[in-house]
Amino acid sequence: MKDYSLQVERIEKAIEQGPFSDELRSLEKYSCPEWYENAKFGIFIHWGVYAVPAFNSEWYAREMYQVGSLAYEHHLKMYGAHKEFGYKDFIPDFKAEKFDASEWAGLFKAAGAKFVVPVAEHHDGFAMYQTELNRWNSMDMGPKRDVIGELANAIRAEDMVFGLSSHRAEHYWFFDHGLGYDSGIDDPDYADLYGPIMKGPSGLHRYQEAHPSKHMLEDWLVRTCELVDKYQPSLVWFDWWVNNLAFRPYLRKFAAYLYNDGVTNNYGAALNYKYDALSPRAAVFDIERGQMNEIYPLFWQNDTAISKSSWGYTENQVYKTSESIVADLIDVVSKNGALLLNVGPRADGTIPQKDQDILREIGSWLKVNGEAIYDTRPWTLYGEGPTKVATGAFSDTHRSDFTSGDIRFTTNGDTLYAMPLARSQDGVVRIFALAKNSNHAPREITNISMLGHGPVEWSQDNDATTVFLPKNGSSMPCALKIT
């Protein structure tokens, strides 16, 4: 077991020398960087060893050891007994032979993304970067490349902001299903991949029942601070397990370390958190696969995926449409948020053609309508319409599709943008918030145009402002520029 005392001491001394301490009252003096509030749209990347089996989801590493699960039965059928072929045995086939960081970055740029967040380490414990803290890493095994380092350079070369995510906190219980039988995960030769294994609580969201050891917590802190030292990410994303009460003091230490490094090295650092791991003013609140039902007073983020079925690459993905993703982006931005959209590359390093097509369709839309998204701020109300959006995680595929009556607003200076989230069949858009007698629009409308088209016909009365759109056959939302 590694002794992290010297590394922890170094981290604590570095915190003492910066403007932020690990006390919550100090972290609450943090201000979200302007680049983040202006960016609005980023790309998330789940890529790792789990792309080799490419079955069911990126949680294959856990579920393959869960007796009776689909992944367990699939593993027996395809690879044999777990003791003879365990998760570690997928690593040699994770070759990434077609991985081209510059090609990926060019695609994300074409998609209109302003920031990119690859997963540096997922729950499975395999690091996608060069490190001496973990021999199970992409430089020493599998691809034999510093994937995160290559992506950092390529993303910055395209003038996008580089971030990363770590799921190390979830690793400590991720393989615990293999403890119940002779699965091979207790082999001491592989203890540094599968362990140290903490028995997870019944129900993984009952995270307060778990009691990670001091060594696990120090291991997490040292590994995550190493990512800051090596790559200086402007955004760091954590999954939900840092909500565990034992983790929270270490999370505050990490936040102080990241923010201080951002100040020292002059990059606007931001940190995402879920649920109540931190306070709203100490970091940027993130909702997984979910949104807000109103304007949130502080900048926030929705992380979701192109696929409805998995974050990592699997066969037979169930995809969202580019139209629905653009509508979600508009809805999120109207409520003071950003959208972080995930893709899952194959094990060979290629991004599936369907993912590429969707990203390029989004990019084409943003090329025309981006001024209604980038650099904007919420209006006095987010929008109007019949479709109800619930606040909270895992809700974005459990509501009705947006309609042409669902309209969202953004502003930039004196300009107001109104965006119907679907196209109406007759081309007529009625905006009730812009009626003559509306409290929301006290100033006179002088002009309305559609981005990518030009001026459009419109009229205003005491009930609504009615806009007559050109019939161009597009199924994408449009953006109306109102002055």
Q: Is residue 378 part of a domain?
A: no
pTM for the structure as a whole: 0.97
- Residue 344: give the domain boundaries: 5-372
Look up the CATH number of the domain holding residue 257.
3.20.20.80
pLDDT at residue 400, as a whole number: 87
338 touches 296 (CB < 8 A): no
> What is the spatial distance between Cα 26 and Cα 16, in angstroms, rounded to a whole number?
12
Q: Is residue 360 part of a domain?
A: yes
221 and 92 within one domain: yes
Total structural domains within the chain: 2
340 and 440 within one domain: no
Q: Is residue 132 part of a domain?
A: yes
403 and 311 within one domain: no
465 and 367 within one domain: no
Q: Is residue 96 part of a domain?
A: yes
pLDDT at residue 238, as a whole number: 98
46 and 189 within one domain: yes
Answer with the one of 314, 339, 372 that is the final residue of a domain. 372
pLDDT at residue 398, as a whole number: 78
Q: Is residue 377 part of a domain?
A: no
188 and 45 within one domain: yes
62 and 206 within one domain: yes
35 and 88 within one domain: yes
Q: pLDDT tens digits, residue range 302-320?
A: 999 999 999 999 999 999 9
467 and 328 within one domain: no
Q: Is residue 284 part of a domain?
A: yes
pLDDT (tens, 9 = 90+) of the chain, 483 residues, equals 889 999 999 999 999 999 999 999 999 999 999 999 999 999 999 999 999 999 999 999 999 999 999 999 999 999 999 999 999 999 999 999 999 999 999 999 999 999 999 999 999 999 999 999 999 999 999 999 999 999 999 999 999 999 999 999 999 999 999 998 999 999 999 999 998 888 776 666 666 777 899 999 999 999 999 999 999 999 999 999 999 999 999 999 999 999 999 999 999 999 999 999 999 999 999 999 999 999 999 999 999 999 999 999 999 999 999 999 999 999 999 999 999 999 999 999 999 999 999 999 999 999 999 999 999 999 999 999 999 998 988 888 778 899 999 999 999 999 999 999 999 889 999 999 999 988 887 678 999 999 999 999 999 999 999 999 998 778 899 999 999
212 and 107 within one domain: yes
400 and 343 within one domain: no
Q: Is residue 194 part of a domain?
A: yes
Answer with the one of 372, 393, 419 that is the final residue of a domain. 372
Separation in Å, CA 119 to CA 125, 230, 430: 11, 15, 43
407 and 322 within one domain: no
Answer with the one of 372, 405, 437 that is the final residue of a domain. 372
Tokens of 329: 């982006």
Q: Is residue 465 part of a domain?
A: yes
Look up the CATH number of the domain holding residue 402.
2.60.40.1180
